[in-house]
Amino acid sequence: MASSRITESKKLSLWGKLKRLALTDVGALVRGFKAADLEAMEETLLEADFGVQATTDIINEVEDQVRLGKVKTEDDLKATIVRRVAALLEGPGDPGRLHRPATGPAVLLVMGVNGTGKTTTVAKLAARYRRSGDSVLLVAADTYRAGAIDQLKAWSDRLGVPCVSGAPGGDPAAVAFDGLEAAIARNASLVIIDTAGRLHTQEGLMDELRKVGRVIGRKVPGAPHEAWLVLDGTVGQNAVQQGRLFSQVIPPTGLVVTKLDGTARGGAVVALRRELAVPVRFLGVGEAVDDLVPFDPLRFAEELVTASDGPAPR
C-alpha cells in the first residue's frame, strides 16, 4: 500500500511537504493561514500516521503561534512543529528507568498482540538490563504454543539468562507464579515476563492476562511494577486499537514501538503516545538483540519532521 505512493512525495521530508503547503506564497505566514492551507497540512499529518488527536493538536498550535505573530519565517514554523511534536512525545527523563520495589525483584510484564515483537523485545531488554547490572530472570508465560516457549528458551541460552517455563498449554499464571518464586530464591533483581497475545479480541485471553496480573501481585507486593505494551509501529491505527484493549486489562506503564527500522512510519509513535497516554520507553529497530533504542522525544521529533525518509532512531 505504501509503495503506491508516488516517489516524489516519498523523497520529501514531512517538513518539505508541510512547507510546500504552508508557504505557497511568502506572505502566508505573516498574514496568517487560510483554512485551506491548514486543511492541507492536516491531511499531510494524517497521511503520515499521526492520528486525529495529535494532528489536531499540532495544527491548533501552529495556528495559534501564527496568529500571535510568533511565526514569521520558515524556520520559526519548522521549530514550532518540532517543538509541539516533541511535547506530545514527552515522557520520563530516563525512559529505561524502572519502578522498583524497596526489596525483592522488580517485575516487568510484557504484553501485546502476537507478532508485534514481544519475545524479541523481552530478549533485548534482558540483555540491556543485565548489562547495566541487573540479575535478570525470564518467564515464558506464553504457553499457547510450544514454539513460543522454545523461542524464549533459545534467547535465554544465547544470552545466558535463566528462564522459567511450563508445559505448552499450561496455566500462564502458574508459570508466572513459579517464575517469581525462582526469582526470589535466586535473588534476581529483575523478572521479565513474556505473555501470550493471540486472539486479543477474545475475552478468554484477556481474563488470563488479568489473572497473571492478580497472581503476581499476590506473590510480590506491587507487581507488576512495570507493564509494557509492545506495539508494531507499521500498523498505524490498528496498534492504537490494540493498545486500548490491553489497557482495559492491565494499565500499561510504558510502550515499546517495534519495527521502526523498515519503512518510515514514525508518525504512528506520536499517535500511540498521544492516544494511549502512555510514555514510550524504547523503540525496536531490528531483529537483533542490540536493536533497541531508548526513546528520546526531541531527537525523534526532529528526525521525524526533517529527515527525508522519516526518523532514523539511532
Ligand X SMILES: Nc1nc2c(ncn2[C@@H]2O[C@H](COP(=O)(O)OP(=O)(O)O)[C@@H](O)[C@H]2O)c(=O)[nH]1
**51 lines the binding site for ligand X (CB under 6 A):** no
Shortest Cβ distance from residue 163 to Mg ion (Å)?
Answer: 13
**147 near ligand X, rule: CB under 6 A:** no
| Binding positions for ligand X, 191-250, rule CB under 6 A | 197
C-alpha pair distances (Å), 145 with each of 106, 158, 171: 27, 21, 12
Q: Which of 55, 65, 80, 119 binds Mg ion (CB under 5 A)?
A: 119
Angle at 139 between CA 138 and CA 144, to 5 degrees: 140
287 binds ligand X (CB under 6 A): yes
**Residue ranges in 251-270 that form contacts with ligand X under rule CB under 6 A:** 258-259, 261-262
> 167 Cβ partners below 8 Å, 6+ apart?
143
Q: How far is the CB of 84 from ligand X (least distance, A)?
A: 27
Task: With CB under 6 A as the rule, give the number of residues binding ligand X.
Answer: 18
Length, in residues, of the chain: 314
156 binds Mg ion (CB under 5 A): no
- Measured from the CB atom, is 33 or 144 closer to Mg ion? 144
Helix locations, the chain, DSSP H: 7-11, 14-22, 28-31, 35-47, 51-67, 74-89, 118-131, 146-159, 172-186, 203-219, 237-249, 267-276, 297-306
* Residues sharing a CB contact under 8 Å with residue 75, sequence separation 6 or more, in sequence order: none
Site for ligand X contains 118 (CB under 6 A): yes
Residue 60: CB minimum distance to ligand X, A: 32
Burial (CB < 10 A; 0-12, 13-18, 19+), residue 35, is: exposed
Q: Which is nearer to Mg ion, 119 or 165 (CB)?
A: 119
Q: Identify any residues that bridge with 163 across adjacent strands, giving them in sequence order.
A: 138
Return the C-alpha cell found at 168: 505448552
Nearer to ligand X, 120 or 156 (CB): 120
- Our CB check for ligand X shows the closer of 18 and 122 to be 122
Q: Can you give the binding site for Mg ion, defined by CB under 5 A?
A: 118-119, 148
Q: Can you give the binding site for ligand X, defined by CB under 6 A?
A: 112, 114-120, 197, 258-259, 261-262, 284-287, 291
